[in-house]
């Protein structure tokens, strides 16, 4: 499977038309069609559903959609590799790719990036946001250099540096809620409330231990993977969202507030990278800066 042909396939998927894709690639339509048929023959699967004469729109089969996702990842990794190699001389320039969940610890990373920028303005940063599962997948595929993750680290796969602070678990609620009058939320305060909880297995385990009941016997009205979306559900009165502090701005005119859990529950944070990974010079400098930052945000 050639990268050139994968790029042709992606152009067709993007344009939803062999004619328009051929024009964008400066190829003749017969040439492009031949390349695509060769790709289908190589894989032994139909990738495209060609439209009839009255409709020239091209759609992807299920196998075509799978190939599109993988091809986008492959082409992204190729571009990342090309940049790293082309910039591997003595000049410290290049790209650092970071994946992170929703956490105030991103400020720590931002501080490292800003301080490094003063010395090496040719380093550029690219952030991908998602939960721990997303970050781990991006790391494993080589699409990011570093990931910020919560909880335990799989030291069989990753090297890591534990960040010198923890995020605090608590509850987002509307300011007129009776629970908002309390400074801390206890487990029994939530036993009869409509709950909005994170969908990650590790987070659910933490909450089950704290609340003293299986989540299945509680009134869980929704789950989330990004707390911002959960906060909108809270604003609309759907329930109480259990999540981490300092992610949602609850100051000023905000309709919601945050109350920590009692007994306290915290989430440790680490920055991780794949074992045996070869860093670009830009990534090496970034890691050095992270290790040498003071511990307080």
State residue 294's pLDDT score: 64
Stated pTM of the model: 0.64
Average pLDDT, the chain: 87
SS3 189: helix
Confidence of residue 155 (pLDDT cuts 50, 70, 90): confident
5-51 pLDDT, tens per residue? 888 889 888 888 888 888 888 888 888 889 888 888 999 989 988 87
Mean pLDDT value across residues 161-178: 91
| Distance in angstroms (rounded) separating the CA atoms of residues 255 and 207 | 25
Mean pLDDT value across residues 168-173: 96
State residue 84's pLDDT score: 65
Mean pLDDT value across residues 238-263: 94
- In 3D space, the residue among 84, 99, 13 whose CA is nearest the CA of residue 48 turns out to be 13
Confidence of residue 174 (pLDDT cuts 50, 70, 90): very high
- In 3D space, the residue among 147, 150, 163, 272 whose CA is nearest the CA of residue 206 turns out to be 150
Confidence of residue 261 (pLDDT cuts 50, 70, 90): very high
SS3 130: coil
123-154 pLDDT, tens per residue? 999 998 888 888 888 898 888 999 998 878 88
Could you give the angle at the alpha carbon of 13 between the alpha carbons of 12 and 14, nearest 5°? 90
- 282 Cβ partners below 8 Å, 6+ apart? 87, 92, 93, 94, 95, 96, 120, 122, 123
65-104 pLDDT, tens per residue? 999 988 888 888 888 777 667 655 556 788 899 998 888 8
State residue 228's pLDDT score: 92
* Residue 241 near residue 193, CB atoms below 8 Å: no
State residue 78's pLDDT score: 83
% of the chain with per-residue pLDDT over 90: 34
State residue 23's pLDDT score: 86
Percent helix, strand, coil in the chain, to 5, is 45, 25, 35
């Amino acid at each position: 499977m050639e990268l050139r042909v994968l790029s042709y396939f992606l152009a067709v998927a993007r344009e939803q038309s062999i004619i328009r894709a051929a024009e964008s690639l400066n190829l003749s339509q017969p040439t492009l069609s031949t390349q695509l048929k060769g790709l289908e023959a190589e894989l032994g699967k139909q990738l495209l559903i060609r439209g009839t004469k009255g409709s020239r729109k091209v759609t992807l089969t299920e196998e075509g959609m799978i190939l599109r996702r993988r091809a986008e990842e492959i082409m992204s990794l190729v571009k990342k590799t090309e940049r790293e190699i082309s910039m591997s001389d003595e000049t410290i320039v290049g790209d650092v790719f970071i994946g992170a969940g929703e956490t105030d610890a991103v400020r720590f990373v931002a501080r490292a990036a800003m301080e490094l920028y003063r010395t090496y303005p040719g380093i550029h940063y690219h952030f991908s946001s998602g939960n721990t599962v997303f970050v781990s997948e991006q790391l494993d595929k080589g699409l990011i250099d570093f990931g910020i993750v919560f909880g335990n680290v799989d030291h069989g796969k990753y090297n890591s540096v534990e960040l010198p602070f923890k995020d605090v678990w608590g509850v987002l609620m509307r300011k007129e809620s009776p629970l908002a009058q309390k400074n801390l939320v206890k487990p029994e305060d939530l036993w009869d409330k409509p709950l909005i909880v994170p969908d990650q297995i590790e987070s659910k385990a933490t909450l089950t231990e704290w609340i003293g009941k299986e989540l299945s016997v509680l009134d869980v009205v929704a789950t989330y993977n990004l707390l911002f979306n959960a906060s909108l559900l809270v604003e609309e009165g759907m329930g109480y969202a259990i999540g981490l502090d300092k992610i949602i701005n609850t100051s000023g005119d905000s309709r919601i507030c945050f109350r920590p859990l009692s007994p306290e529950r915290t989430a440790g944070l680490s920055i991780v990278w794949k074992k045996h990974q070869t860093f670009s010079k830009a990534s090496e400098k970034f890691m050095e800066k992270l290790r040498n930052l003071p511990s307080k945000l």
